[in-house]
A = this chain, B = another copy of it.
Amino acid sequence: MERSLLKHFIKSRGLRQSSQRDRVVETFLSQKGHTSAEELLIQVRKKDKRVGLTTVYRTLKLLTESGLAVERKFNRQVSTFEPARIGQHHDHLICLGCGKIMEFENKNIETLQEEVARKHTFFITHHVLELYGTCLDCSKKGAKKPKKK
């Protein structure tokens, strides 16, 4: 469990522990898929009513900085966060019809990206690759109302 990673991060920064933050972290790590601050707050409040949105934002920032969460924007205004699996990285297919998000990983693409960078004498720290379009279901049903989430 990479929980100790956060503990270490907290310590090394001279931060203190708190029950609210623990609850947010615990809830976040149990989450599947991509979660916004607002959505996470709803989940957290099922366990503890006294947690505020500000703390959720602050904790998500902490998780992101410590490498336990990855922030993603996709095509909307809100940031969503996803528990990071160490050493792993994936990109996304995003259906504009229903909002469905699928993951993929492609080493060949990454190799080509490195090649591009090398040509420009550029050093990649991270990348964003998002493929937008229509999933199978939506292409069958025809374009329907996009799902809000």
Contact call B130/A128, Cβ cutoff below 8 A: yes
Contact call A131/B124, Cβ cutoff below 8 A: yes
A69-109, CB < 8 A from B = 73, 93, 95-96, 102, 104, 106, 108-109
A124-140, CB < 8 A from B = 124-136, 139
Q: A109, A113, A117, A132 — which one has the most chain B CB atoms within 10 A of its CB?
A: A109
Q: With the chains together, A102 CA to B123 CA distance in Å? A: 13
Contact call B125/A96, Cβ cutoff below 8 A: yes
Q: Is A112 an interface residue (CB 8 A)?
A: yes
Q: With the chains together, A148 CA to B130 CA distance in Å? A: 25
1/0 per position for A107-123, CB-CB distance to B under 8 A?
01100110011011111
- A sample of 28 cross-chain residue pairs with beta-carbon separation below 8 angstroms, ordered by A number, consists of A73-B73, A93-B117, A95-B122, A102-B120, A102-B122, A104-B116, A104-B120, A108-B112, A109-B109, A113-B129, A116-B131, A117-B133, A120-B135, A120-B136, A121-B135, A121-B136, A122-B131, A122-B134, A122-B135, A122-B136, A123-B134, A123-B139, A124-B131, A125-B132, A126-B132, A127-B129, A127-B130, A129-B129
Closest 9 CB pairs of A and B: A121-B136, A124-B133, A125-B133, A128-B130, A123-B134, A123-B133, A127-B131, A109-B112, A93-B122
